[in-house]
Amino acid sequence: MNFNREDHPHRRRNPLTGAWVLVSPHRTKRPWTGQIEKPIPDTKPEYDPGCYLCPGNNRAGGVKNPTYTGTFSFINDFSALLSDTPPGRDDDFFYQTESVRGMCKVLIFSPSHRLTLPQMGPEDLLKVAEMWQKEYKEISVLPDINYIQIFENKGAMMGCSNPHPHGQIWASQSIPDEILKKCETQAEYLKAHGRPLLLDYVEKELEKKERIVYVNDSFVVLVPYWAVWPYEAMIVPRKQLMSMADFSPADLKFLMDAVRILTIKYDNLFETSFPYSAGMHQSPCDGKEHPGFTWHMLFYPPLLRSATIKKFMVGYELLAGPQRDITPEASAAKLRELSDRHYLHL
């Protein structure tokens, strides 16, 4: 009997981090084996007087929002990172500690309380990308800021406490471990091969076509070969962009086209407002060279078989390592087949 990755348990390695994922395709042969549920209606109002992110309302910290009509950003009233943290350090082997400075911002995508990214039009989506770029450029030059994490948690299932369309920025003095790994692996690959790792990876994926979800002039949407979550996806540029500062106006437009198509397909998968955590990994802004680093955006949605059934990282996955049943190839095929017109026909 010969090994077949579509039938037999195997491990797949993430070349960006060195981590492995166990794939058990024999446990489920089809990408869809769960129950079929009726679409969950969207009942959110255009404006919610009790929402602390809606225009003109008071926030949880007591500050009143302006009557904004587009995107809007502000320093998080309950920031996890603070700009005035005093220096401190403990080098004890068991209790090693160092203080860290930073800032956290809330990025509101729209004045409409009911909208999500896949429900927004191209012009309004472009404003979101322009806000991401503007915030990155302004924050990256601040002292004590060495890395900027832009992300969105969508849906109560992902811990989002307010449904108003918004994302966040956490900018820190320290560089997260995941980013340090990716800096190292991409620099090593560039030194060995003379080309950025992710650009070579995208070229191979475009040749194979097994895990491609969508392609436009500037970006490729795909399910990574090493994906952990059932419908995990990644947006990768077709040229090297190291951070949001490198994006041209056309790049911003094509990025949001890719985001719109992917998130519409997510919503159409189970006919629900699909929850996820999404964020972009970009080169640190610490003033050092990070050769080979390529910006990319990651989407980690938890849903597995229906609008209410999620994948839990428990047991073996919590104690040993991640595992998946449905293969990335099957996930990509399912997403690729879905319509890019929203199921609500907005």
Q: Give the active site residues.
A: 166
Average pLDDT in the 297-308 region?
A: 92
- C-alpha span between 267 and 196 (Å, rounded): 33
Query: Angle between the 328-337 and 249-270 helix axes, to the nearest 10 degrees?
Result: 100
Structure tokens given for 235: 């947006």
pLDDT of the residue at 131: 98
pLDDT of the residue at 33: 47
- C-alpha span between 242 and 240 (Å, rounded): 6
Average pLDDT in the 99-121 region?
A: 97
Instruction: Outline where the chain has alpha helix (H).
Output: 122-140, 177-193, 197-208, 249-270, 316-319, 328-337
pLDDT of the residue at 35: 53
What top-level class would CATH report for the domain 38-337?
Answer: alpha beta
Residue 60, pLDDT above cutoff 80: yes
- C-alpha span between 283 and 296 (Å, rounded): 10
Residue 119, pLDDT above cutoff 90: yes
Average pLDDT in the 234-245 region?
A: 98
> pTM for this one?
0.95
Contacts of 117 (CB under 8 A, 6+ apart): 109, 125, 128, 152, 154, 165, 259, 260, 263
Q: Tens digits of per-residue pLDDT, 162-190?
A: 999 999 999 999 999 999 999 999 999 99
Structure tokens given for 232: 């995990």
Residue 306, pLDDT above cutoff 90: no
Residue 34, pLDDT above cutoff 70: no
Residue 129, pLDDT above cutoff 80: yes
Contact (Cβ atoms closer than 8 angstroms) between residue 211 and residue 332: yes
Mean pLDDT for all residues in the chain? 94
Helix (H, G, I), strand (E, B) or coil at 166: strand
Q: How sure is the predictor about 221, in pLDDT bands with cuts at 50, 70 and 90?
A: very high
Of 32, 24, 18, 21, give the one whose Cα is nearest residue 5.
24
pLDDT of the residue at 63: 94
Strands in the chain per DSSP E: 10-13, 20-23, 72-75, 89-90, 97-98, 102-108, 147-154, 166-172, 212-215, 219-222, 233-237, 276-281, 296-300, 323-324
CA distances from 96 to 89, 92, 147, 302 (A): 8, 5, 22, 34
- C-alpha span between 155 and 140 (Å, rounded): 29
> To the nearest whole percent, how much of the chain has pLDDT over 90?
84
Average pLDDT in the 198-222 region?
A: 98
Q: How sure is the predictor about 309, in pLDDT bands with cuts at 50, 70 and 90?
A: confident
Residue 117, pLDDT above cutoff 60: yes
Helix (H, G, I), strand (E, B) or coil at 259: helix
Structure tokens given for 252: 């911003």
- C-alpha span between 165 and 163 (Å, rounded): 6
Residue 345, pLDDT above cutoff 70: no
